[in-house]
A = this chain, B = another copy of it.
Amino acid sequence: MTNKLFVDACLGKETPYTPVWMMRQAGRYLPEYMAVRAEAGNFLNLCHDPEKACEVSLQPVDIVGVDAAIMFSDILVIPDEMGMDLSFVKGEGPKFSDPLETQADLDRLIGGEEAASKLTYVYDTIKLIKEKLADDKALIGFTGAPWTLATYMIEGQGTKTYNICKKMMYANPALLHKILAKVTEVVKYYMEKQIQAGIDVVQIFDSWAAAIEPSNYDEFSWKYMVEIADYLKAKYPHIPIIMFPKGVPAFIEQGGVYGNFDVFGVDWGTPMALAKEKLGEKYILQGNMEPTRLYSKEATTESVEKIQQIMGGKRHIFNLGHGILPDVPVENAKHFVAECKRVSGKK
């Protein structure tokens, strides 16, 4: 047993109650976050400023009462430091000025440890958080999955149809695999350096998992996530790894989920009972309240009780099934956290 409830739960140990955190918990629904972000000027500045990033990472622990902090950053700092020019256009989201089209475009990018070494502001943020975070709370570090990162690198921005990526997937899969392999190498070193800086738990976010056909998901995304997990687990077996592929109930149903990791993050579109049936013996399950239930305390309690009924307080971490939205009242987020603790027996 460690002194951290959250780490114990990730490793399958019995805990006094089921720990809880929320994806995007350090975010825009908190007025305190908005104040710091306003000082920073913009989102990317906030990512680059360890003092401020530390401050917003700690806010939900103090204000909402979650059992783990997640370092404040963005998944796209990785391709940015590989040499792609990231900016956030107000109202439009992230943009890369020069998306990847060819092998030559890929060859121009910095790879491996060299790229990971440039993310010093992330490691500095982690060190600051660890100095200030209560000893019984865990710090989660994270990365985007290679596939999710590659979608932005190839499309140059967010996309509804993924049509540029998909053209590459079906017409030039070799180039897509080279991009994925190069990103995977950077991510391995990036996560290793996050661990060395002090994170207690790793989460890999595959936010755009659902953009791939279930029958192709392993080939173009999952196997790269597993490669990262294998690398980290071989060197740091005590650090739990959480895999979160968003929107893959069919991949789960078909039993395609393998890998050397500890926790499977269940998105809200996948019924918790299905996840338990297919994955519950092999992995701890994290999730999965539909985040917009946070608009109503009654709808929140109903869902928390149902999830508790299914999971029975065993091999489970409470979370949302996707990120909290900016217009959720803070008191409802507090209610969610309190209800998770109540139903799972916190004294």
Contacts and interface: CB of A to CB of B under 8 A. Distances in A.
Contact of A274 (B163, B247, B253): B253
A215 B162 contact: no
Nearest to A322: B161
B249 A166 contact: no
Interface in A169-210: 169-171, 210
A206 to B, nearest CB: 15
A292 B170 CA distance: 8
Interface stretch (A44-52, A127-135, A264-272): A264-272
Contacts of A213: 268-269, 290
Interface stretch (A69-77, A82-90, A95-103, A293-301): A293-301
A247 B213 CA distance: 12
A290 B167 CA distance: 12
Contacts of A271: 214-215, 250, 254
A295 B325 contact: no
Contacts of A254: 271, 274
A44 to B, nearest CB: 21
Contacts of A163: 292, 295, 325, 327
A273 to B, nearest CB: 8
A298 B172 CA distance: 11
Contacts of A250: 249, 269-271, 274
Interface in A229-272: 247, 249-250, 253-254, 268-271
Contact of A161 (B171, B296, B325): B325
Contacts of A295: 163, 166-167, 170-171
Contacts of A253: 249, 253, 274
The interface centre, meaning the residue of A169, A253, A269, A325 with most chain B CB atoms within 10 A of its CB, is A269
B249 A292 contact: no
Interface in A149-175: 161-163, 166-167, 169-171
Nearest to A292: B166
Nearest to A300: B170
A215 B302 CA distance: 12
24 contacts: A162-B292, A163-B292, A163-B295, A163-B327, A167-B292, A167-B295, A167-B296, A169-B292, A170-B292, A170-B293, A170-B295, A170-B296, A171-B299, A213-B268, A213-B290, A214-B269, A215-B271, A249-B249, A250-B269, A250-B270, A250-B274, A253-B253, A254-B271, A254-B274
Given A163-B327, A250-B269, 8 more contacts: A163-B292, A163-B295, A170-B295, A170-B296, A213-B269, A214-B270, A249-B250, A253-B253
